[in-house]
Amino acid sequence: MSEKYYHGVRVKEEGTQVAAPVMGTTGLQVVFGTAPVNLASQPEAAVNVPVVCRNMEEAKKKLGYSNDFGAYTLCQSMYASFVKYTVAPVVFINVLDPKVHKKENPEKEYAVINRQAKVEKGILLDSVTVKVGETSLNLEEDYLLSFDDDGYLVVTLFSERTEEAKSLLVTSASIDPSLVSVSDIIGGYDAKTGKESGMEVLRQVYPKTGMAPGLLLAPGWSHKPEVGAVMMAKCESINGVFSAECLLDLDTEKARLYTDVPKVKEESGYADSHAIVLWPKVMVDGMQMYYSAAYGAMTAYADVVNDNVPNRSPSNCALYVDAAVLEDGTEVLLDREQANTLNANGIVTLLNEGSWHSWGNNTSAYPEVTEAKDRWICCRRMFTWMANSLITTYHNRVDDKSDFRLLESICDSENIRLNSYVSAGKMAGGRIEFNESENNLENILNGQIIFRIYIAVFTPAEDILFVLKFDPELLRNSLTRGGEA
C-alpha cells in the first residue's frame, strides 16, 4: 500500500504559523547564493535550479534554512521575505553543490546522553557511519538520524545492543560553504553536458515557473564588482525579451564612511539604469544581513499592496530593521543631509527618523543619466514592468492573422488596460497607436506589425518645498482688531 492505514483517533501538533504571505509577482525576487541544502529533503536536487518558495516551511523543505547568514546567503532573503514582510513567491537559485563543496570529517567520538548524540552542523546524511567501539551500527535498525532546530545532526539510538552505549564513533562528510567562490555564483554553460550554473540559471526561471523576474539579488555576493557586473548585464534580454532590475550592495569594509561611498560605487563600476545600489548593511532581530535582502523584500511587498503595479517609489518605505551597520558591526547613523549626499550620487540608503525607512529614488545611473525613465527607480521599474507585461499579455496573439480584427483587438485591449491604470492613479496617461506609415506592405509581408505605446509615469515628489515668510500685515491686522476690542 502506498499510504499508511489509520484506524482511531490521532493528534498532530504544528508550530505557530506566521501570517499567510501576500502574493505578487511584479517584484518577483530571483535570489542567487548558498543554502544549507544538507537539511533539504533532496539536497542534490536543489543545486543550480530555480526553486520557487511561498513560505518559510517550503523553503526549509526544498533548500534548508540557517540563521548563519554569512555562510548561507539565501537565508537572508528567506528571513526578510517570509518572516519580516510575509511576501511571496520568491525564486531561489542555490549554487552550493553537496558533491563539490564538501569536506570529509575524520572519525570522532561523541557522548551519548539519553540515548542521543549531538554531532555537527552541515552533515550530509548519506555520508554518516556510526560505531559503538569496534561494532558498526545499522541505520534504521540501531539508530535514526535527524537534525535539530539549529541544524545539528542528532543520532538517536533505539536497538537493544545500543542500550549501554556511552559514546559513539561517527564518520561523516559535511557541506562547506567556504568553498563556494565568485565563479560559482557567476556560473556558466557547460557545452558538454548542456547544463547551466549560477547566474546562467536565470534563463530557466520563466520557462520553469511562468513568472518573469522582477528583481535580481545576490546578498553576500553583489558587493563584489565582478558579480555586480554580471548582474547588470543580466538585467536585459532575459530569455531574449524580458528585463529586470538588480539590487547591488556596496562593500562596507571599503566604504566605512559615508564620504567614501560614492568613490567605492565608482570604483565598483556600478552605473546602470537597471541597477539600484545600496549602502550600508542592516541588523534584523540581532542578525546582520545585506541591505539588498531587506530592500528586495520591502519592494516586493510594496508592489503587492499597490495592486501589483510598481509605480510607487520604494523610497521612504518602512524597513523592518533594527540598525544600519558596517561589516564589523559598527553602527551607522546618518542624518538627512548625509543621506541626501548619497542620493545625489545614485546610492540608496536608510534613515532612522522615528523609525527606519529606505531613502533614495535614483538608480545607479544617476547623476550621469538624468532622463526620467532611467534616473528614477519607480519610472525605470514601470517601464520594465510595462514591457514585460506586454510580452506576456499578448504572447497568445503571436501568429494570428494580421488582419484588421487583430489590430483593432490589440488597440482596444491595450487602451482599456492603460485607461484603467490612469483612472486608478497608477499612471499620468497612456495610449497605443497603430500608424499605417510604419506598417507598410513590406513589413506586413515579412510578418511584422508595429504598435507605438506612449505612457507618462508619475515621478516621485522628492523635493517638497514650503516657503515660510513673516507677513507684517497679518501682525498689523491682529493688533488693529485687538485695539478695536
For 217-271, how does the pLDDT look when each residue is reduced to its tens digit (9 = 90+)?
999 999 999 999 999 999 999 999 999 999 999 999 999 999 999 999 999 999 9
Amino acid at 162: T
| Alpha-carbon gap, residue 177 to 378, rounded angstroms | 36
- Strands of 251-355 (E only): list them: 275-278, 281-284, 287-289, 323-325, 349-352
Domain ranges, residue 410: 405-485
Q: Are residues 196 and 49 in the same domain?
A: yes
CA 332, 334, 337: angle at the middle one, nearest 5? 160
Confidence of residue 23 (pLDDT cuts 50, 70, 90): confident
What average pLDDT does the chain have?
94
The answer to whether residue 7 sits within a structural domain is no
- Contacts within 8 Å (CB) and 24+ apart, 369-378: 369/273, 372/457, 372/459, 373/457, 374/273, 375/273, 376/313, 376/459, 376/460, 377/245, 377/276, 377/313, 377/314, 377/315, 377/348, 378/310, 378/311, 378/312, 378/313, 378/314, 378/457, 378/458, 378/459, 378/460
Domain count, the chain: 3
Structural domain ending residue among the three candidates 175, 199, 221: 175
- 470 is a domain residue: yes
Q: Is the pLDDT of residue 78 over 80?
A: yes
Residue where one domain finishes, among candidates 175, 196, 229 = 175
Cell 575524520 locates to 106
Q: What is the pLDDT of residues 294-312, one digit of tens each?
A: 999 999 999 999 999 999 9
Q: Nearest CA to 341 among 263, 225, 271, 274?
A: 263
The whole-angstrom separation of Cα 362 and Cα 449 is 35
The mean per-residue pLDDT over the stretch 333-356 comes to: 98
Report the pLDDT value the prediction gives residue 281, as an integer from 0 to 100.
98
Among 357, 372, 387, the domain-final residue is 372
d(CA 198, CA 230): 11
Instruction: For the chain, report the end-to-end CA distance as a whole number of angstroms.
Output: 98
Quote the CA–CA distance of 381 and 374 in Å, as a whole number.
9
DSSP category for residue 395: G
pLDDT of residue 481: 75
Is residue 122 domain-shared with residue 56, that is, in the same domain?
no
Do residues 31 and 132 share a domain? no
Same domain, 226 and 275: yes
Question: Whole-angstrom Cα distance, residue 265 to residue 249?
Answer: 9
95, 243 in Cβ contact below 8 A? no
User: What is the per-residue pLDDT for 1?
Assistant: 41
210/348 same-domain check: yes
Residues 353 and 441 occupy one common structural domain: no
Q: How high is the pLDDT of residue 13?
A: 56
Nearest-CA neighbor of 426 among 462, 382, 371?
A: 382
Amino acid at 448: Q
Q: Which residues of 112-133 are buried (b: 16+ CB within 10 A; e: fewer)?
A: beeebbebebbbbeeebebebe
- Statement to judge: residues 349 and 200 lie in one domain: yes
CA distance 31 to 384: 19
In percent, the amount of the chain with pLDDT more than 70 equals 95
Residue 436 pLDDT > 80, yes or no? yes
Asked if residue 361 belongs to a domain, the reply is: yes
The pLDDT of residue 483 is above 70 = no
- How large is the average pLDDT for residues 87-113? 97
Query: Whole-angstrom Cα distance, residue 217 to residue 76?
Result: 11
User: DSSP characters for 255-282?
Assistant: --SGGGHHHHHHHHT---TTEEEE-SEE
Residue 67 domain-assigned (yes or no): yes
Q: Do 319 and 424 reside in the same domain of the chain?
A: no
**Residue 151 region, left (φ>0) first, then alpha (ψ -120 to 50), else beta?**
left
The separation between CA 39 and the C-alpha centre of its own chain, rounded to angstroms, equals: 21
In a domain, 455, yes or no: yes
Q: What is the mean pLDDT of residues 101-116?
A: 96
Q: What is the CATH number of the domain that holds 335?
A: 3.40.50
Average pLDDT value for residue range 381-406? 94
**Whether residue 410 sits in one domain with residue 318:** no
- Position 386 in a domain: no
pLDDT (tens digit, 9 = 90+) per residue, 177-213? 999 999 999 999 999 999 999 999 999 999 999 999 9
Same domain flag for 170 and 195: no
447/345 same-domain check? no
Q: Lowest-confidence range among 7-11, 78-82, 117-121, 345-349?
A: 7-11
Task: Tell me how crowded residue 207 is: count the other CB atoms within 10 A of its CB.
Answer: 9
User: Are 35 and 75 contacting, i.e. CB atoms less than 8 angstroms apart?
Assistant: yes
The confidence score (pLDDT) of residue 241 equals 95
Write out the H or E segment, with its range, that includes residue 359.
strand 356-359
Longest dimension (CA), the chain: 109
Average pLDDT over residues 414-419: 96
Verify that 155 and 215 share a domain, yes or no. no
How confident is the model over 1-18, as pLDDT tens digits? 445 666 667 666 555 545
Confirm whether 260 is domain-assigned: yes
**In Å, what is the CA distance from 91 to each residue of 48, 63, 68, 210?**
12, 11, 20, 12
pLDDT above 70 (res 327): yes
Q: Is residue 250 part of a domain?
A: yes
pLDDT of residue 60: 97
The pLDDT-based confidence of 346 (bands split at 50, 70, 90) is: very high
Residue of 423, 217, 395, 150 whose CA lies nearest to 307? 423
